[in-house]
Amino acid sequence: MAISASIQALLAGELVAGSRLNSKLLDELLAEGLLLVVSRGSRKSYRARDAEALKRFLIDKDESFRIIEANALDSRATMAAETGNSKLVMVRSCPGFPVNSYEPIECFLDENPFVVNPQEGSFLFVSDWEKFTIPEDTVVIGVENMDNFRMIRRQRTLFDRYLHNHALSDKVLFVSRYPQSTDLRKWLCTISNHYLHFGDFDLAGINIFLYEFQQYLGKERSSYLIPDDIESRLKSGSRKRYDEQYYRFKDIKSDVCELQQLIDLIHHERKAYDQEGYICCNP
């Protein structure tokens, strides 16, 4: 597979005009938060927020993109020969995903007992994720924003209230997709636990849930965390971000009543609200 010049340019940190990018791929990269938007009048260009994260996403999305990694390995060999330092060229060397909890969760790693109970101010990283199992009565909460993920204890009131109101188990394991990859989703597909998605309250955030998680897990075992005060919070949200997302995500819909109500509310208020706003709800 030949990597397009526009993708190569993004990986090199260059600014790329939107007209040069495949529209479907562009939507995915924007939904994943991998691109920065640079507007010049009616024209928009894009730059990678993190070239390494973009590369990992492309490789995990399609095996044919592994040519990027192969080229990087060639570059590492060349760099090592010329400078003695192969680390100057980065490749993905740590698969897996972070996990967190505010109470001990008795899990298993390669069939050996593994208690997830990180001290406040820290979290764990599961690299051998294919051999990681958790109790069946544990709800998995996926947290999109890393600040929210790190500070779960400061949001416990939010989580406890939601779980109670929706008759879900109060035993929870928090996970994150950082670094950007499909490892987390692949792991979720191997277990039967309920998955609760905690992301931004905007069209792009809902799009991530619908097409990166619910599409694979199904509606019976995946849901979107919608706080009971989101209507009042959206009133103080960002109009600019709603406008930036509108044309790409204006047609998203859900046949899950609660989620469609959130979509309708976002359109009604014409606002977007960041999940970070909930970090201080339980000091």
Give me the mean pLDDT over the 91-114 stretch. Answer: 88
Predicted local confidence at residue 87, as pLDDT: 43
d(CA 234, CA 245) in angstroms, rounded, equals 15
Q: What pairs with residue 201 in β-bridges?
A: 273
> Is 50 exceeded by the pLDDT of residue 75?
no
Give me the mean pLDDT over the 93-110 stretch. Answer: 91
Element (H or E) spanning 161, and its range? Answer: helix 156-165
Predicted local confidence at residue 80, as pLDDT: 46
> Is 50 exceeded by the pLDDT of residue 1?
no
Fold of 97-281: Dna Topoisomerase Vi A Subunit; Chain: A, domain 2 (3.40.1360)
Lowest mean pLDDT among 57-66, 160-169, 188-197: 57-66
Predicted local confidence at residue 50, as pLDDT: 81
Predicted local confidence at residue 161, as pLDDT: 95
> Is 90 exceeded by the pLDDT of residue 280?
no
Residue 83's pLDDT band (cuts 50, 70, 90): very low
Lowest mean pLDDT among 18-22, 37-41, 82-86: 82-86
Burial code of 74-110, b = ≥16 C-beta within 10 A, e = fewer?
eebeebeeeeeebeebebbeebbbbbbbbeebebeee
Lowest mean pLDDT among 84-98, 157-171, 212-226: 84-98
pLDDT (tens digit per residue) in 13-24: 888 888 888 888
Strand ranges in the chain using DSSP code E only, listed in sequence order = 16-17, 35-40, 43-48, 97-100, 105-109, 112-116, 124-126, 132-133, 139-143, 172-175, 195-198, 222-224
- pTM equals 0.73
Higher pLDDT, 147 or 39: 147
Query: What architecture is domain 5-88?
Result: Orthogonal Bundle (1.10)
Structural domain spans, the chain: 5-88, 97-281
Predicted local confidence at residue 10, as pLDDT: 87
Give me the mean pLDDT over the 46-65 stretch. Answer: 76
